[in-house]
Amino acid sequence: MRIALGADHAGVVLKEQLKQHLDRRGIQYEDFGTHTSESIDYPDVATVVAREVAAGRFDRGVLVCGTGIGMAIAANKVAGVRAAPVGDERSAALSREHNDANVLALGARVTSAELAIRLLDLFLDTPFAGGRHQRRLDKIALLDQGSR
């Protein structure tokens, strides 16, 4: 599995902690920035990571901002991306089981590093359940095509 990572200035420290965890797990990733605490605009990073995932160059994306909300809103504008802003373990697992989320959006100002790492593991390790959930994702895919 290959992960595309991105953060704004609010998420840059947590992004580094997530990278350390991915290193420990031996999971490949590419970091699309930002790399400093200088203020940037989260849509600029969200769209880069989202396009990498949508194009199939990465299996999953992980985005970090202050709350995870802005990153998710921006990433979800890219067709084929299902970005989930997640702050609890049940939602992390269900974002995969029910929604086949391919981008995880985390909030560094609202989620501890310890919890964020647990959420990342659930996001990476939980399979999509398929079945009735696939039918719903098919309807979302039609929205991406502008045909619903």
- Catalytic residues, which ones? 65, 98
How far is Cα 22 from Cα 127, in angstroms, rounded to an integer?
Answer: 18
| 8 makes contact with ligand RB5 (CB under 6 A) | yes
Residue with tokens 């919890």: 115
Q: Which is nearer to ligand RB5, 71 or 100 (CB)?
A: 71
Give Cα separations from 128 to 1, 114, 122 (angstroms): 15, 24, 12
Residues 25-84 that bind ligand RB5 (CB under 6 A): 42, 65-67, 69-70
Residue 141 C-beta: closest distance to ligand RB5, Å:
26
Closest to 29 (Cα-Cα) out of 57, 10, 50, 51: 57
CB of 107 to ligand RB5, least distance (A): 6
Distances (CA, A) of 69 to 53, 62, 73, 76, 79: 18, 13, 6, 11, 18
Contacts of ligand RB5 in 97-126 (CB under 6 A): none
Q: How far is the CB of 69 from ligand RB5 (least distance, A)?
A: 4
> Contact positions toward ligand RB5, by CB under 6 A?
8, 10, 42, 65-67, 69-70
